[in-house]
Amino acid sequence: MAVPVQKTDNVTSLPSPKASAKPAEIVTLPARKSEGNGKKVVDRLKGIAATTVPPLLVLGVLLLVWQISFARPGASLPAPSVIWAEAKDLILDPFFVMGPQDIGLGLRVLTSLERVAIGFGLAAVVGVLLGALVGQSIWATRGLDPIFQVLRTVPPLAWLPISLAAFRDANPSAIFVIFITAIWPIIINTAVGIRNIPQDYRNVAQVLRLNTFEFFFKIMVPSAAPYIFTGLRIGIGLSWLAIVAAEMLTGGVGIGFFIWDAWNSSKLSDIIVALLYIGVVGFALDRLVAAIGSLVTRGTSAS
């Protein structure tokens, strides 16, 4: 009888350090509800502040350092105050249209995004299909994988001359560069995901006699979804890297060409504003794909 007594001792002593955060909530809620809610709001604000104040502080310090270092006349790069003075309209109004070549950066970003959407969309569809083939068939792996491994190391812009020659037009060439840049991580991650489908799921599919089409949509894609989305996330990042470089060379109205054009007319302030736009949009794209991924794969991670 000594053992159970010891056990209950352990049980009562164990949770107390863990639960130290919870009792406060449990005690305050029934006592005074309004105060509890007020405290909750304060807690939430504190949480938001904890994530937003440090980066804002660092940003402020960086801007200050930048301002001090480049404020003297004849400095090689413009200081933040100069950028604000010269490119205020670019920052404040992203969607103005003053003429065919004089439009807001928001509109330019949208043109670039359209190219990325087409190129990346094609890469996603083709990449997942090819990845499924490579992951499923040992012979496809043996035949295709070495080729993929060589081609994926080719830098995006190295494809541009050959695609210009093939398509004889700037826009499809830029889209092709996006496609060929984004497709490799999608293929490789999808293939890994397909190879990692547990044998149990394959057995279930076999017992049910699912055909290839049903197996692809009902077992393969959902099971490999976490891997597929890892590939898509890497792919969208690479696309965004590639589009700016490709547009510098192909021209048009994209954000990449804007930077090149600004460089040619020595508008350094405009370039820095454009860099900010590119960074923010790239960040947003990454988060968007990640969010879709976590929404789609919310069931698959745990079993």
Binding residues vs other proteins (CB under 8 A): 198, 200-201, 203-204, 206-210, 214, 218-219, 222-223, 225, 297, 299-303
Nearest approach in angstroms of CB 138 to other proteins is 16
Measured from the CB atom, the residue of 148 and 229 that comes closer to other proteins is: 229
Nearest approach in angstroms of CB 25 to other proteins is 24
Nearest approach in angstroms of CB 215 to other proteins is 11
Tokens matching residue 206: 């076999």
Instruction: Assess contact for 107 and 163: CB atoms under 8 A.
Output: no
Measured from the CB atom, the residue of 223 and 269 that comes closer to other proteins is: 223
Q: How far apart are CA 90 and CA 212, in angstroms?
A: 52
- Helix, strand, coil share (%) of the chain residues, nearest 5: 80, 0, 15
Measured from the CB atom, the residue of 112 and 223 that comes closer to other proteins is: 223
Q: How far apart are CA 3 and CA 267, in angstroms?
A: 80
Q: Kindly report the backbone phi and psi dihedral angles of residue 96, in degrees, each rounded to the nearest multiple of 5, phi listed first.
A: -80, 150
Number of Cα atoms under 13 Å in the Cβ half of residue 93: 9
Residue type, 235: G
DSSP one-letter code for 220 = I
The total number of residues shown for the chain amounts to 303
Measured from the CB atom, the residue of 148 and 215 that comes closer to other proteins is: 215
Measured from the CB atom, the residue of 79 and 225 that comes closer to other proteins is: 225
Nearest approach in angstroms of CB 121 to other proteins is 23
Residue type, 172: P
Nearest approach in angstroms of CB 12 to other proteins is 24
